[in-house]
Structure 1
Amino acid sequence: MRKMTMFVALAAATALSTPAMAGSPDGKFQVKVLGTAVLPNGEIDKIKYLDAGLGDTLADMGVSDVDAKANDNVVPTLAVEYFFNQNFSLETICCFTQHHVNGAADLSGTELVDHVLILPATVTLKAHLPTGTPFKPYIGAGPSVFFVFDEKPGATAQALGVDRVKMSNSFGVALQGGVDIALGDSGFGVSLDAKKYFMKPTAKFYVEDTKVLETKHNLDPWVLSAGVTYRF
């Protein structure tokens, strides 16, 4: 997290301090430095595979309704945007977000997956509404790939013998809406942004390289951001 914060701060400082980048509310490029709340779902959409032995263990524990929930997180985000004209632009974001997945329903209170690090590679095509004022609302949509790193079995999964867990990378789409607000003619401004992702990764749990459980999840996070912008 500290490295990511330093990267965002350095990128913003570089963009805002370069003399050749004269600020303008009508410039071709825009850089955003944002604080972002990542609010995933994480519920189990389908149990694709359940080892008979693990199934018997869960039954002995009185577990019949199996579900999960991923925790929320707040992270720094860097967005870079190119304007084709005043009405259309292309935007990409850079951030890492870390989560864990806990049990829900009959599994409430259990720890299933720890330290899931996600890179949400996203590109959106945005349409901006010309209002003739500093307030410029927009909508957008585009593809996204969630790259998953460094996931580990949680304490409850380990107690059941799980020694490795693998969550899949996931391809999906993002819908976007927000508003940019120019602060005068200097190129500086503020931005409010909301994205809804539709992602369905799978999680595979292993005991000594033998798969004992595979689940498909509705990750589907809301990603809410606010911060400062510079257009040039």
Structure 2
Amino acid sequence: MASLLVLAAAFGGAAMSVRAADLASASIYTKAPPVAPFNPWMVRLRVLGVLPDARGSLVNVAGIPPLSSANSGLSISDQAIPELDITYFFTRNIAAELILGVTRHQISGTGTLNGLEIGTAWLLPPTLTLQYHFTDFGAFKPYIGAGINYTVFFNQSAANTPFAGLAMTDLHISNQVGAAVQFGFDYMLDSHWGLNVDVKKLWLRPDYSATVNNAIPVTGRANIDPWLVGGGITYKY
């Protein structure tokens, strides 16, 4: 009988040990931190440098070949503006980005038209890109993208400033669709806030028409082809 009591006590102790181990294991799993829910939205506020590259622009001054291409070209001023972008993540790697901002540029002649002020124009260039974000580098999150740009030109104004007997008295630039590519990175300071650097290249070559001295028609193509170089703050929801 004594042997049976010892054996029962041993089995009981073993069972209690197993239960204690199970409870300890359950406690460990219960205390595991929950996985943060995935929020697809991100916004950035940047300072953006808009750097046009007007090489190769075409100028055709009716009836005056010496003032036309390849003797003449266009120069378009650089500009710095504040810019907002909104990004939506379809997955943790695939996202779409829309940038919003407006910029004002001065246009002048080059070559035989050097010194002639042509005018100014405001640009609204919303650009939508599809991006791939690399997520294997910790807080450093680089990305690449490509997409489309549609630029609206508004508040166009001819300079009407006399130079060597010439003055631009009318200016019209057509809206234009173009391609865009980009690369950049976010460096996340915590789960929400980060720093951003972004570079885009747009291919933007609108047709334009103008008038010199209220009488001489000018037509051509303005190769704006800007680089958009920006840096700013990221907020991930």
Q: Calculate the TM-score normalised by the size of structure 2.
A: 0.77
What is residue 89 of structure 1 aligned with on the other side?
95
State the alpha-carbon separation in 2 of the partners of residues 220 and 199 from structure 1. 5
What is residue 113 of structure 1 aligned with on the other side?
119
Q: Larger relative CO (CA 8 A, sep 6+): 1 or 2?
A: 1
Per-residue Cα deviation, 1:38-92 (whole angstroms, up to 9, x for no partner): 0001234333x4322xx17849xxx971011101000000000000111100000
Letter in 1 for 2:200: K
State the alpha-carbon separation in 2 of the partners of residues 228 and 81 from structure 1. 13
State the alpha-carbon separation in 2 of the partners of residues 212 and 105 from structure 1. 18
Relative to structure 1, is the Cα distance of residues 41 and 25 closer, same or farther in structure 2, using a 3 angstrom cutoff? farther
Letter in 1 for 2:196: S
Match of 1:178 among 181, 184, 189: 184
State the alpha-carbon separation in 2 of the partners of residues 25 and 39 from structure 1. 40
Relative to structure 1, is the Cα distance of residues 56 and 191 closer, same or farther in structure 2, using a 3 angstrom cutoff? closer
Q: Is the 8 A contact 1:112 1:157 kept in 2?
A: no
Per-residue Cα deviation, 1:73-124 (whole angstroms, up to 9, x for no partner): 000000000001111000001100000111122322221122x100001100
Q: Calculate the TM-score normalised by the size of structure 1.
A: 0.78
State the alpha-carbon separation in 2 of the partners of residues 90 and 204 from structure 1. 35
What is residue 31 of structure 1 aligned with on the other side?
43
Aligned-pair CA distance for 1:171? 0.6
What is residue 4 of structure 2 aligned with on the other side?
none
- Percent identical: 29
Greater strand content: 1
Aligned-pair CA distance for 1:159? 5.7
State the alpha-carbon separation in 2 of the partners of residues 84 and 74 from structure 1. 31
- The answer for unaligned runs of 5 or more in structure 1 is 1-23
Q: State the secondary structure of the residue aligned to 2:57.
A: strand
Q: Is the 8 A contact 1:25 1:182 kept in 2?
A: no
Aligned-pair CA distance for 1:209? 7.7
Relative to structure 1, is the Cα distance of residues 212 and 26 closer, same or farther in structure 2, using a 3 angstrom cutoff? same
State the alpha-carbon separation in 1 of the partners of residues 164 and 178 from structure 2. 30
Aligned-pair CA distance for 1:157? 7.6
State the alpha-carbon separation in 2 of the partners of residues 181 and 148 from structure 1. 34
State the alpha-carbon separation in 2 of the partners of residues 163 and 226 from structure 1. 38
Letter in 1 for 2:41: F
State the alpha-carbon separation in 1 of the partners of residues 81 and 92 from structure 2. 29
- The answer for unaligned runs of 5 or more in structure 2 is 1-35
Superposed CA RMSD: 2.5
What is residue 21 of structure 1 aligned with on the other side?
none
Q: State the secondary structure of the residue aligned to 2:138.
A: coil
What is residue 71 of structure 1 aligned with on the other side?
77
